[in-house]
Amino acid sequence: MRRLMGVLLERLAASVPDATVVLAGRDVFEVDFLTARPDALAQVVAECRAACANAVHIEKISCLPKLVISGVIGRPEDDATGLIERAEAALAEAELAAAIPDVVGTGETADSVVAELDGALDRGEMVLHYQPKVHIRRQAIDCIEALVRWEHPERGLVPPGDFIPATERAMRMERLTLWTIAQAIVDQRALRAQGHDLRIFINMSGHLLADADFVRLACAAIVAAPDARLGFEVTETSVIRDPDAAIAHLRDFDRIGVRISIDDYGAGLSSLAYLKQLPACELKIDKLFVTQLTSSNRDPLIVRSTIDLAHALDMEVVAEGVETQAALALLSVMGCDMAQGYFISPPLAPAPLAAFLAAEQHRQATQDVRGSFTRRAAGWKRG
């Protein structure tokens, strides 16, 4: 992805030499230019399209980029933040307009995946694995993230990436998510009985956030379990889809004690205008920026400024994808609150998770991250 974006950046910069072109996100370019000509925007858009019309070849892969372009013309009253917010909102609209045919379409593949998934739920083949989020300064684990897996009788343990995107495209995540909430509550009680009282965060698909019927059912399930301590991980992209409904529903969840976490920050659509309205207590920096933290020049700057932004908005920051001691040490120095990743623990089934917690294995990974530190042999397998 990085190499692809690098090639496109070069092409765009060459095709619009009077503009400043920067990579403004995982897959977003910002093209800034000053002009007095009213037709300049249309011309720059045409030049950008032409620059990306031919496939990019990287090693054996050829990729034809699909562009979504939006443009805003600065007004005299715009400050930098206002202009960026307007540009982000325009891009979000353009992206949604481009995505809607895919989102509403329920192709055969999606239908068959959903039918299989229904059967899997009926047969009890779905399981939840849990990955700890470690508080770096306190070296404590207060919460874990639930990640669904399918124990397929023939294919073995199927990761969520193989079935969730199709289920989301078919807008059929409701049953799986209600099952996840119920199963997380059961697993939480079992862990509590073993002395581990942890809040469980559940991933919430975008289309469910705007679905009033789903929200009613989810709230009813949670309220019926007064001992449940849950959180939902949502992406900003899913809020931007239908902001009024999503924000109202997130407030409903917040009112019944469900904590809200912004997942995959930096990887999708992002809007400061919406971010500051969300009742979120936590922001998770996407692993894209964390896995290369110590080998990239740009990523530490992005991570550092995201930590400052989240703290300014009174949110705690979780870095996901922490794979090395060096990354953990740098995050600690940058003031990141929590870390999640293979360096601490992969997602684990409930029984190995309880053993991990009982052995306090996370302390081995987090102690003295700022100084010289040799990681002791860890008792888990990389997942």
Judged by CB under 6 A, which of 25, 231, 268, 341 binds ligand C2E? Answer: 341
Judged by CB under 5 A, which of 85, 95, 236, 263 binds Mg ion? Answer: 263
Told to check if 160 binds ligand C2E by CB under 6 A, we report yes
C-beta of 8 vs 136, nearer to Mg ion: 136
Q: Which of residues 287-316 bind ligand C2E (CB under 6 A)?
A: 287, 291
Judged by CB under 5 A, which of 85, 95, 211, 264 binds Mg ion? Answer: 264
> What letter does residue 56 receive in the DSSP assignment?
E
Nearest alpha-carbon partner for 366 in 296, 336, 299, 147: 336
Give the per-residue contact string, 98-137, with ligand C2E (x = CB under 6 A; - = no). ---------------------------------x------
Quote the CA–CA distance of 344 and 324 in Å, as a whole number.
Answer: 9
Told to check if 366 binds ligand C2E by CB under 6 A, we report no
DSSP character string of 10-37:
HHHHHH-TTSEEEEEETTEEEEE---S-
C-beta of 92 vs 262, nearer to Mg ion: 262
Quote the CA–CA distance of 340 and 26 in Å, as a whole number.
Answer: 20
C-beta of 237 vs 271, nearer to ligand C2E: 237
CB of 79 to ligand C2E, least distance (A): 33
HSE-CB of 351 using CA atoms within 13 angstroms: 1
Choose from ligand C2E, Mg ion, none: what does 260 bind? Cβ within 5-8 Å by kind.
none
C-beta of 67 vs 127, nearer to ligand C2E: 127
Q: Which of residues 220-239 bind ligand C2E (CB under 6 A)?
A: 233
Q: Write out 150-202 in H/E/C secondary structure.
A: EEECCCEEECHHHCHHHHHHCCCCHHHHHHHHHHHHHHHHHHHHCCCCCEEEE
- Give the long-range contacts of residues 68-72, CB within 8 A, separation 24 or more: 68/94, 68/95, 68/98, 69/45, 69/94, 70/94, 71/41, 71/44, 71/45
Quote the CA–CA distance of 57 and 360 in Å, as a whole number.
Answer: 47
Judged by CB under 6 A, which of 51, 120, 164, 288 binds ligand C2E? Answer: 164
Told to check if 282 binds Mg ion by CB under 5 A, we report no
Judged by CB under 6 A, which of 264, 282, 299, 316 binds ligand C2E? Answer: 264
CB of 319 to ligand C2E, least distance (A): 10
Residues 361, 365, 263, 274, CA torsion sign: positive
C-beta of 282 vs 320, nearer to ligand C2E: 320
Please, are residues 338 and 134 in contact by the beta-carbon 8 Å criterion? yes
Choose from ligand C2E, Mg ion, none: what does 347 bind? Cβ within 5-8 Å by kind.
ligand C2E
Instruction: Compute how many other C-beta atoms are within 10 angstroms of the C-beta atom of residue 215.
Output: 19
Choose from ligand C2E, Mg ion, none: what does 323 bind? Cβ within 5-8 Å by kind.
ligand C2E
C-beta of 263 vs 282, nearer to ligand C2E: 263
Instruction: Compute how many other C-beta atoms are within 10 angstroms of the C-beta atom of residue 349.
Output: 15
Quote the CA–CA distance of 172 and 107 in Å, as a whole number.
Answer: 13
Q: Which two tokens stand for residue 254?
A: 């917040």
C-beta of 168 vs 264, nearer to Mg ion: 264
Judged by CB under 6 A, which of 203, 270, 361, 366 binds ligand C2E? Answer: 203
Quote the CA–CA distance of 216 and 197 in Å, as a whole number.
Answer: 26
223 contacts: CB under 8 Å, gap ≥ 6: 256
HSE-CB of 318 using CA atoms within 13 angstroms: 28
Q: Which of residues 172-201 bind ligand C2E (CB under 6 A)?
A: 173, 180
Give the range of 18-26, 99-107, 156-164, 226-234 binding Mg ion by CB under 5 A.
226-234
CB of 131 to ligand C2E, least distance (A): 6
Q: Is 297 helix (H, G, I), strand (E, B) or coil?
A: coil
Contact residues for Mg ion, defined by CB under 5 A? 203, 233, 263-264, 320
Contact residues for ligand C2E, defined by CB under 6 A? 131, 147-148, 159-161, 164, 173, 180, 203-205, 233, 263-264, 287, 291, 320-323, 341-342, 347
